[in-house]
Amino acid sequence: MPLFKNKFQIASNRLECWDYTAPGYYFITICIKKMQCLFGCITNGKMQLSFLGQIIANEWQKTETIRSNVILDQWIIMPNHIHGIIIITERKNVQTARRAVSTCLVQTPRRGVSTCLLPNSLGSIIGQFKSVCTKRIWTAGYHDFRWHRNYHDHIIRNEQSLRQICLYIKNNPAKWDMDEYNPTKYK
């Protein structure tokens, strides 16, 4: 693992050569830290949202309302994570990738990692979503709530892949017993 300021730095799982401000379809998964099942439970193959799950659903749906270049496709909130397809329809107010990277706008030195987020990039969309959800959840009195540090993304490159991912998301609650994110699967 590489070091940054004498601390181990977890390498990014983003595709190095990809511009995440580029129009496209992105399949994302965001998890709760320690995989706690706080967003609800699966009953008879259907997701039943808790109070926190309702906050997540509400904020997720606002994503395309507050960003004119974003459309939400298939999505599901699971007990301890969310899956969704984010469509970035156009590049908004971003310099060329080379210039924008050299003018880092947001850094997170508190974690010991320097992370640059370009405005209207997938990372900034996810970061804003996680931040707003966390503030609402903490305000509701759940001060121990934390997101997993990062998120998983997959760039959807063709119609067949899009159909398979949509089907995966739709069927995810019915397959919870076998889900890799189900903490009871291994007990």
Comparing 13-17, 44-48, 150-154, which segment has the lowest mean pLDDT? 13-17
Look at 183 and 156; give whichever has higher pLDDT.
156
**Distance, CA of 23 to CA of 176 (rounded, Å):** 32
Output the CA–CA distances (angstroms, integers) from residue 151 to 1, 9, 97, 99, 126, in the order listed: 19, 16, 22, 25, 8
Q: In terms of pLDDT, which residue wins out, 113 or 58?
A: 58
Higher pLDDT, 150 or 161: 161
pLDDT digits (tens, 9 = 90+) for 86-104: 999 987 664 544 444 433 4
Mean pLDDT of 35-47: 95
Indicate the average pLDDT of the chain: 83
pTM more than 0.85? no
What confidence score (pLDDT) does residue 158 get?
96
Predicted pLDDT at 120: 79
How far is residue 28's CA from residue 18's CA, in Å, rounded to a whole number? 15
Residue 150: partners with Cβ closer than 8 Å, 6 or more residues away? 10, 13
Q: What is the pLDDT averaged over residues 2-30? A: 70
Contacting residues for 22 by C-beta, under 8 A, at least 6 apart:
88, 91
In sequence order, what are the beta bridge partners of 147? Answer: 32
